[in-house]
């Protein structure tokens, strides 16, 4: 099993399925767009394992606490990793996290956006380590976010070429040559 997926499995973590938008909503864009050795990741929010939008929803400082926002940001990391797994085929192709842009659904006067987005950053650093997981980051407050979600996060990662061999957790070489993306 690949290294990152093994770390998730050891923690009993399952990545959510594809985003299930609310009835009547179309999302006509790619959640992950690979350009050269970069993957640009569209804004993601917290999801349940089945791909639906996770609760609770609302504004930080009004409806939700910093701890609830932190947990939502952590779920957003899982949502993003699920999209990356579907797009890349193997999370070990992620060489390093480059940039993270975190948006927090903020009530008037709420100014703890960095503490909320730490839920995302802490999880990525825990999973990928201090070298590959380190990233530049912004954490900003927004008046509203889609569907009332508490956080939305977009990112950019550097990825290994699909044809390049990657070391597995056991140290053997696993080649990505010949793997096809479905859909």
Torsion angle, alpha carbons of 116, 155, 83, 121, to 10? -40
Q: Measured between alpha carbons, how far apart are the two ends of the chain, in Å?
A: 23
pLDDT of residue 177: 29
Residue 24's region, left for phi above 0, alpha for psi from -120 to 50, else beta, is left
Q: Cβ distance 119 to 69 under 8 Å? A: yes
CATH of domain 3-161: 3.30.1330.40
Q: What is the mean pLDDT of residues 108-117?
A: 98
For 109, the token pair is 């006067």
Q: What is the pLDDT of residue 176?
A: 32
Question: Which range is least confidently modeled, 12-26, 34-48, 161-175?
Answer: 161-175
Average pLDDT for 82-93:
97
Does the pLDDT of residue 178 top 90, yes or no?
Answer: no
H-assigned helices in 26-160: 66-88, 113-132
Q: Return the domain boundaries, the chain.
A: 3-161
pLDDT at 163 over 70: no
């Amino acid at each position: 099993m690949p290294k990152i997926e093994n770390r998730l499995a050891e923690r009993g973590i399952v990545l959510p399925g594809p985003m299930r938008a609310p009835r009547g909503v179309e999302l006509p864009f790619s959640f992950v767009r690979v350009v050269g050795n970069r993957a640009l990741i569209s804004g993601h929010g917290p999801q349940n394992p089945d791909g639906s939008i996770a609760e609770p929803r609302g504004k930080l400082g009004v409806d939700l606490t910093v701890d609830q926002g932190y947990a939502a940001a952590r779920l957003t990391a899982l949502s993003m990793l699920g999209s990356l797994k579907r797009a890349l085929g193997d999370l070990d192709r992620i060489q390093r996290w480059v940039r993270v842009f975190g948006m927090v659904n903020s009530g008037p006067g709420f100014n703890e956006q960095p503490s909320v987005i730490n839920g995302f950053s802490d999880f990525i650093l825990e999973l990928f380590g201090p070298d590959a997981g380190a990233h530049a980051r912004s954490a900003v407050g927004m008046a509203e976010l889609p569907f009332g979600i508490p956080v939305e996060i977009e990112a950019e990662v550097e990825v290994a070429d699909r044809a390049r061999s990657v070391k597995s957790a056991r140290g053997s070489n696993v080649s990505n040559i010949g793997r096809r993306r479905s859909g």
